[in-house]
Structure 1
Amino acid sequence: MKNIITIVAVLALLGCQEKTEKITDSKDYNQYLITTNTPSKDAIEKDMQFWQERFNNDSTHLMEMSRLSGVHASLFGSTGDISELKTSETFIKKSHDIAARNKDSYLRSLAHNYISQHRFKEAQVLLDSAYAYPDNRKETEMMLFDVAMELGEYNRADALLGKIKDTKDFNYLIRLAKWSDHNGNLDAAIKYLERAKQIAEERDNRSLKLWIYSNIGDFYGHAGRLKDSYNSYLKTLEIEPDNHYAKKQIAWMVYSFEKNTEEANRILDSVMVNHKAPDYHLLKAEMAEYNGNSSEAKKQNDMFLKATENISYGGMYNTYLISLYAETKPEEALKLASKEITNRATPETYQLLAYAQLKAGDKETALKTIEDYVVGKTSEPKALFHSALIYKANGMEDKVAALKEELMGASYELGLVKAKEIEKL
Structure 2
Amino acid sequence: MKKIITIACIAVLFGCQEKAQKITDSKDYDPYLITNNTPSKNALHEEFEFWQKEFDNDSTNLVEMSRMSGIHTAMFGITGDISELKTSEKLIKKSHDVSARNKDSYLRSLAHNYVSQHRFKEAQVLLDSAYTYPDNHRETEMMLFDVAMELGEYNRADTLLGKIKDPKDFNYLIRLAKWSDHNGNLDAAIKYMEQAKQIAEERDNRGLKLWVYSNIGDFYGHAGRLQDSYNSYLKTLAIEPDNHYVKKQLAWMVYSSEKDTKEANRILDSVMVNHKAPDYYLLKGQMAEFDGDTSEANKEYEKFIKATENPDYGGMYNAYLIDLYADREPQEALKLAAREITNRATPETYQLLAYAQLKAGDKEAALKTIAEYVEGKTSEPKALFHSALIYKANGMEDKVAPLKEELMGAFYELGPVKAKEIEKL
Q: How far does residue 319 in structure 1 lie from its aligned partner after superposition?
A: 0.2
Partner of 2:384: 384
Kindly report which structure 2 residues correspond to 1:112-261, keeping only aligned pairs within 5 A, or say none.
112-261=112-261
Mark the CA change 1:7 to 1:309 in structure 2 (over 3 Å): closer, same or farther: closer
Counterpart secondary structure, 1:340: helix
Amino acid at match of 2:38: T
Partner of 2:286: 286
Q: How far does residue 73 in structure 1 lie from its aligned partner after superposition?
A: 0.2
Q: How far does residue 58 in structure 1 lie from its aligned partner after superposition?
A: 1.0
Partner of 2:4: 4
Mark the CA change 1:58 to 1:20 in structure 2 (over 3 Å): closer, same or farther: same
Distance between the aligned counterparts of 1:342 and 1:19, measured in 2? 42
Counterpart secondary structure, 1:409: helix
| Cα deviation 1:1-24 (Å, max 9, x = unaligned) | 523334542324665314530000
* Unpaired segments ≥5 residues, structure 1: none
| Cα deviation 1:314-335 (Å, max 9, x = unaligned) | 0000000100110111011001
| Cα deviation 1:196-243 (Å, max 9, x = unaligned) | 000000000000000000000000000000000000100000000000
Distance between the aligned counterparts of 2:35 and 2:130, measured in 1? 41
| Cα deviation 1:154-185 (Å, max 9, x = unaligned) | 00000000000000000000000000000110
Amino acid at match of 2:260: N
Partner of 1:262: 262
**Equivalent pairs, count:** 425
Partner of 1:95: 95
Amino acid at match of 1:414: L
Counterpart secondary structure, 2:277: coil
After superposing the two structures, state which structure 1 stretch, 395-404 or 81-90, moved more: 395-404
Amino acid at match of 1:334: L
Kindly report which structure 2 residues correspond to 1:37-76, keeping only aligned pairs within 5 A, or say none.
37-76=37-76
Distance between the aligned counterparts of 2:74 and 2:363, measured in 1? 44
| Cα deviation 1:60-92 (Å, max 9, x = unaligned) | 111000000000000000000000000000100
Mark the CA change 1:303 to 1:8 in structure 2 (over 3 Å): closer, same or farther: closer
Distance between the aligned counterparts of 2:13 and 2:134, measured in 1? 55
Partner of 1:410: 410
Distance between the aligned counterparts of 2:193 and 2:263, measured in 1? 30
Contact in 2 for aligned 1:9/1:224 (Cα 8 Å)? no
Mark the CA change 1:161 to 1:106 in structure 2 (over 3 Å): closer, same or farther: same
Partner of 1:365: 365
Amino acid at match of 2:238: E
| Cα deviation 1:81-125 (Å, max 9, x = unaligned) | 000000000100010000010000000000000000000000000
Q: Is residue 2:308 matched to residue 1:308?
A: yes
Partner of 2:396: 396
Partner of 1:83: 83
Partner of 1:421: 421
Contact in 2 for aligned 1:388/1:404 (Cα 8 Å)? yes
**What percent of counterpart residues are identical?**
81
Distance between the aligned counterparts of 1:169 and 1:180, measured in 2? 16
* Unpaired segments ≥5 residues, structure 2: none
CA RMSD in angstroms, aligned pairs only? 1.0
TM-score of the two chains, using structure 1 as the length reference: 0.99
Contact in 1 for aligned 2:216/2:232 (Cα 8 Å)? yes
Contact in 2 for aligned 1:92/1:109 (Cα 8 Å)? yes
Partner of 2:332: 332
After superposing the two structures, state which structure 1 stretch, 341-350 or 3-12, moved more: 3-12
Counterpart secondary structure, 1:69: helix
After superposing the two structures, state which structure 1 stretch, 185-194 or 391-400, moved more: 391-400
Distance between the aligned counterparts of 2:141 and 2:398, measured in 1? 44
Mark the CA change 1:13 to 1:105 in structure 2 (over 3 Å): closer, same or farther: farther
Mark the CA change 1:42 to 1:234 in structure 2 (over 3 Å): closer, same or farther: same
Q: How far does residue 403 in structure 1 lie from its aligned partner after superposition?
A: 0.7
Q: How far does residue 379 in structure 1 lie from its aligned partner after superposition?
A: 1.1
Amino acid at match of 2:336: L
Mark the CA change 1:184 to 1:387 in structure 2 (over 3 Å): closer, same or farther: same
Distance between the aligned counterparts of 2:63 and 2:176, measured in 1? 34
Counterpart secondary structure, 1:221: helix
Amino acid at match of 1:29: Y
Counterpart secondary structure, 2:72: helix
Partner of 1:356: 356
Distance between the aligned counterparts of 1:162 and 1:114, measured in 2? 25
Distance between the aligned counterparts of 2:80 and 2:307, measured in 1? 12
Distance between the aligned counterparts of 2:242 and 2:13, measured in 1? 32
Partner of 2:277: 277
Contact in 2 for aligned 1:13/1:411 (Cα 8 Å)? no
Contact in 1 for aligned 2:6/2:411 (Cα 8 Å)? no
Counterpart secondary structure, 2:219: helix
Q: How far does residue 399 in structure 1 lie from its aligned partner after superposition?
A: 1.1
Distance between the aligned counterparts of 1:338 and 1:15, measured in 2? 42
